[in-house]
Amino acid sequence: MHKDIAMELEGGIHGDIVAQQAALETWTREFNRERPHEALGMRVPSDMYVPSSRRYDPSEIEMSYPSDCLRRKVNTVGVIRIHGRSIGISTALSGWDVGLKPTGLSRYSVWFGPLCLGELDWEIESFQAARQNAEGGAPPHTPGFSALTSEAGDETGKKEESAL
C-alpha cells in the first residue's frame, strides 16, 4: 500500500493541506472499496475487513520502572513537567508514563519501558533523542527496566517528586 501511495500520489497533489487530505481520502476510498487486489482473490479490502470483537482497554497496560526513577505522564501535546518546567518529549507518547533516571545534577535519561528514548536537561529545558547504535539499530534496552505489564495496580517505580 505504501509503495502504491508513493507511486500514485507523491508530488502529484498540488494545493494546500486541505487539498492534499482530500486527495488522500479519495485514494484511500478507491484502494479499500473499489480496487480489486490480487492477494485477496480479486476482492476489495473492505469486503474482507471484520472489526475485532475485543475492545482495547489502555488501562490494562502499565509501564514499570525501577524505584530510582521518577515517573511522569506525557500530556496530549507531548510534554512532561519536571522541577516546575515543561519539556517536550514526543506526542507519540501522549497519555503514557515515562521513567526519568537521574544521570547528573540536572540530567535524566528518559525511558519508555525498557527503551532509552534519550536524555533531558531540565535546567535548559531540553530533550535530546537517543541516537541509533553503530549497526543502525535502536537504542539499547537496559536490564532492570521491565516491559509492559498488565497489573493495573502495580506500584513498582511510582516514585513521585513532591514539587511538580
| pLDDT of amino acid 134 | 52
| pLDDT of amino acid 148 | 42
Give me 88's grid cell: 517536550
Let me know: does 35 contact 60? Beta carbons within 8 Å.
no
- 110: β partners: 100, 118
Cα distance between residue 55 and residue 145, in whole Å: 28
For residues 24, 30, 31, 33, the Cα torsion angle rounded to the nearest 10 degrees is 130
| pLDDT of amino acid 147 | 44
| pLDDT of amino acid 130 | 87
Return the axis-axis angle of helices 17-33 and 2-9, rounded to nearest 10°.
Answer: 130
Look at the block and give the residue holding cell 502495580.
154
| pLDDT of amino acid 78 | 94
Report mean pLDDT in 10-residue bins for the chain, 164 residues.
81 82 90 92 93 81 87 95 91 93 93 92 89 57 46 39 39
| pLDDT of amino acid 46 | 93
- 109: β partners: 101, 119
| pLDDT of amino acid 152 | 38
Residue 94 makes CB contacts below 8 A (sequence gap 6+) with: 74, 75, 76, 77, 78
User: What's the pTM?
Assistant: 0.52
CA geometry: angle 137, 86, 92, nearest 5 deg: 40
Give me 37's grid cell: 487486489
| pLDDT of amino acid 29 | 93
Give me 95's grid cell: 497519555
Let me know: does 152 contact 60? Beta carbons within 8 Å.
yes
Rg from Cα positions in the chain: 22
Tell me, rounded to whole angstroms, the distance of Cα 96 from its chain centroid: 9
